[in-house]
Amino acid sequence: MTTPETSFPATPEFYFADAGGPMFYFLDDRLDASPAIGGPPTPEPPVVTTTGDRALDVASVRSDFPILGERVNGRPLIWFDNAATTQKPRAVIDRISSFYEHENSNIHRAAHELAARATDAYEDARETTRRFLNAPRVEDIVFVRGTTEAINLVAQSWGRKHLGEGDEIVITHLEHHANIVPWQQISRQTGAVLKVAPVDDRGNLLLDELERLVGPRTKLVAATQVSNALGTVTDAKRIVEIGHRHGARVLIDGAQSIPHMPIDVVDLGADFFVFSGHKIVGPTGIGVLYGAQDALADTPPWQGGGNMIADVTLERALYQDPPNKFEAGTGNIADAVGLGTALRYVADLGIERIAAYEHHLLDYATPRLSAIPGVRIIGTADEKASVLSFVLDGHEPLEVGKALNAEGIAVRAGHHCAQPILRRMGVEQTVRPSFAFYNTTDEIDVFLDVVDRLARGGVGG
């Protein structure tokens, strides 16, 4: 494998978010979000949202991710399982250990010094998240375990209050199980009806069909912004407009869009926007439910317990306002803090620049992969994020995954928790490489070579 540096200047124009600007291969004004070693952490600087015209320095970015130096089966690790989870930069790893070394406490500010530090760090992460999403108020940001928990919260809490017999929920055929099963469950519990907007044979969401499904009984539209199985990017803003025109609330699943495109929840207009930290170089076990002020106000608490109450007698409990109302019990404090650092890291690199670079990787890989005899790409929508699902004639996806693993390449092989859309595309499983901003075209070449040899009978069984 050649080094990342040698691949970088090949097609430099692709690395720009803003076309036409001069090209620089450095990021020397990147903010260092990691705290000083050996002392209390310094306050983190504000999130940077402007990216200017600097290029993405992939070699430098790669050196931020310790795990990319790992060897697997004697080969350098190639991490192409980014849609499942992303790797973590040193800044995030250090921030979490620094939290446990210098700040660890439960978050009850007034109790003592460490409680104040932990509370500040946790609330600072909430503010960072607010700014990353351009949410109007810090109270709109609820920390949860991840996308799955956020959707279940909305389904069980908002849904139980607002859904009744014959009311309708509209989802799309593209959804991850996390945005299907909670709606099936609440539909059974309330008598609501679940409707599904179709896709075409290439995996494009049919918005006109979606609009036809939304009507006076529709209480909620829940749709993904990027499909994890096919990579399809949906027009989430139009989905929100359609839902709102009919008086429905709209939830957008941002699990796959959050690391690949700028998100502005005000511009998007969604009532709920949800994502998981681990998909955007943050820790597992922490995620976000953004809710518009009136939507959260209209949502009862989900779980009861400590932290979420204003006053409790043995007869009744008075709840706090959002976000505390939805954060019962001791939350995942350290990982919330780590998520804040992850979002700063991504913002410093520039999400537009990341999107442009990942697009370049997709554009590089797609024609080369489809040129391999027996390869069929599953999901060829007009707009795609860097997910490249495929099947190979005569080889089970798992077998392809094992052959790639033998060469140090990690991909997902299976149904990707999105069985309905794979079945719609005529398959049960696919092989799914998915690229992040720390991947390179050289890594893609190594991957293509293994698939090509397998297709020609030269690798494995």
> Of the two residues 159 and 414, which places its CB atom closer to ligand PMP in the complex?
414
The 10 Å Cβ neighbour count of residue 353 is: 21
> Could you tell me the two tokens for 160?
């139980």
> Of the two residues 225 and 341, which places its CB atom closer to ligand PMP in the complex?
225
Residues 394 and 354: their CA atoms lie apart, in Å, by 36
User: Among 417, 419, 449, 460, which one carries the catalytic annotation?
Assistant: 417
Per-residue contact string for residues 39-78; x = within reach of ligand PMP by CB under 6 A: ----------------------------------------
Q: What SS3 state is found at 51? A: coil
Contacts of 171 (CB under 8 A, 6+ apart): 179, 180, 183, 194, 195, 196, 197, 221, 222, 223
Q: Does 178 bind ligand PMP (CB under 6 A)?
A: yes
> Could you tell me the two tokens for 201?
């044979």
Number of residues forming the site for ligand PMP (CB under 6 A):
13
**Segment contacting ligand PMP (CB under 6 A): 143-151, 364-372, 374-382, 403-411?**
143-151
Minimum distance between the CB of residue 392 and ligand PMP, rounded to whole angstroms?
23
Question: 107 and 119 in contact (C-beta within 8 Å)?
Answer: yes
**Segment contacting ligand PMP (CB under 6 A): 46-54, 133-141, 249-257, 335-343?**
249-257
Interface pick for ligand PMP out of 82, 204, 218, 256 (rule CB under 6 A): 256
DSSP H or E segment with residue 198: none
Q: Does 338 bind ligand PMP (CB under 6 A)?
A: no
DSSP character string of 238-264: HHHHHHHHTT-EEEEE-TTTTTTS---
DSSP character string of 273-335: EEEEGGGGTS-TT-EEEEE-HHHHHTS--SS-SSSSEEEE-SS-EEEPPTTGGG--S---HHH
> Of the two residues 205 and 375, which places its CB atom closer to ligand PMP in the complex?
205
Interface pick for ligand PMP out of 148, 187, 190, 429 (rule CB under 6 A): 148
Minimum distance between the CB of residue 373 and ligand PMP, rounded to whole angstroms?
30
Interface pick for ligand PMP out of 86, 147, 172, 441 (rule CB under 6 A): 147
> 18 φ, ψ to 5°?
-105, 110
417 an active-site residue?
yes
Q: First vs last Cα of the chain: how many Å apart?
A: 24
**Segment contacting ligand PMP (CB under 6 A): 8-16, 109-117, 171-179, 182-190?**
171-179
Q: What SS3 state is found at 177? A: helix
Q: Does 172 bind ligand PMP (CB under 6 A)?
A: no
What residues are annotated to the active site?
417
Give the residues lining the site for ligand PMP (CB under 6 A): 146-148, 176, 178-179, 224, 228, 253, 255-256, 276, 417
